[in-house]
Chain A
């Protein structure tokens, strides 16, 4: 069975703090893809990153970074120097192979206060 767990339901930080959103996944497949999406208050889903199971390199994009560790089945997302505009619900998701359905975690609501 495949599953994505985002244990943090809600996180609140003060602007400029660093924050890490956790994502743990379960799959027996050797080929899979992991995603992060952002859902701002306006409701749309914004794609942030896609990572395949064969690429464990960490990635940095501006203030965002992702740490993928197959040994612990985790794909954590860190926002450095958080800003109020980072306030959103963040979803981690898993796709089986390149043709599978997308399975979402329950999301983490991040509130960044000024």
Chain B
């Protein structure tokens, strides 16, 4: 089954403690992306990757890092999380026909 898998689904952490949200796709897609969703703001793009070792900033990249060492994985790294990064995060991969989204990661930073 074609899918994008994010882990964890839920995470509560403390300010400043580094964390990584993993994202993996099994469709051999070149393009992957991270979004965050906040009430009243919709989904905003954090980072995207056109292919292995090629990443670029989206609309809200501050406070985040990504890496793309292999095609299937695109982890989102928060080096020093802050409460304003409390949000619902989605990973997605893309073909020419559209996007496949992961199930989301609900992150709370206290």
Which secondary structure dominates chain B's binding surface?
strand
How big is the A interface, by class?
A: 20 to 34
CB contact under 8 A between A33 and B48, given known A101-B33, A102-B33: no
Partner of A35 from B31, B98, B104 at Cβ < 8 Å: B98
Contacts of A35 in B (CB 8 A): 98-99
Tell me, in angstroms, the Cα distance from A45 to B103 when the chains sit together.
Answer: 7
Q: Considering the complex, which residues of chain A in the window 24-61 have a beta carbon less than 8 Å from any beta carbon of chain B?
A: 33, 35, 43-45, 47, 50
Tell me, in angstroms, the Cα distance from A9 to B40 when the chains sit together.
Answer: 8
The answer to whether B58 and A91 touch across the interface, beta carbons within 8 angstroms, is no
Is B67 close to A, CB under 8 A?
Answer: no
Instruction: Find the A residue at minimum CB distance from B45.
Output: A101
B residues lining the A interface (CB < 8 Å): 31, 33, 35, 40-45, 48, 58, 88, 90, 92, 94, 96-99, 101, 103-104, 106
A97 to chain B, nearest CB (A): 10
Contacts of B43 in A (CB 8 A): 91, 104
The answer to whether B96 and A107 touch across the interface, beta carbons within 8 angstroms, is no
In this complex, the member of A6, A44, A45, A98 whose beta carbon has the largest number of chain B beta carbons within 10 angstroms is: A45
Which secondary structure dominates chain A's binding surface?
loop
The answer to whether B42 and A105 touch across the interface, beta carbons within 8 angstroms, is yes
Is A106 close to B, CB under 8 A?
Answer: yes
The answer to whether A98 and B40 touch across the interface, beta carbons within 8 angstroms, is no
Tell me, in angstroms, the Cα distance from A45 to B93 when the chains sit together.
Answer: 13
Instruction: Find the A residue at minimum CB distance from B50.
Output: A99
CB contact under 8 A between A45 and B101, given known A101-B48, A104-B42, A107-B42: yes
B38 to chain A, nearest CB (A): 10
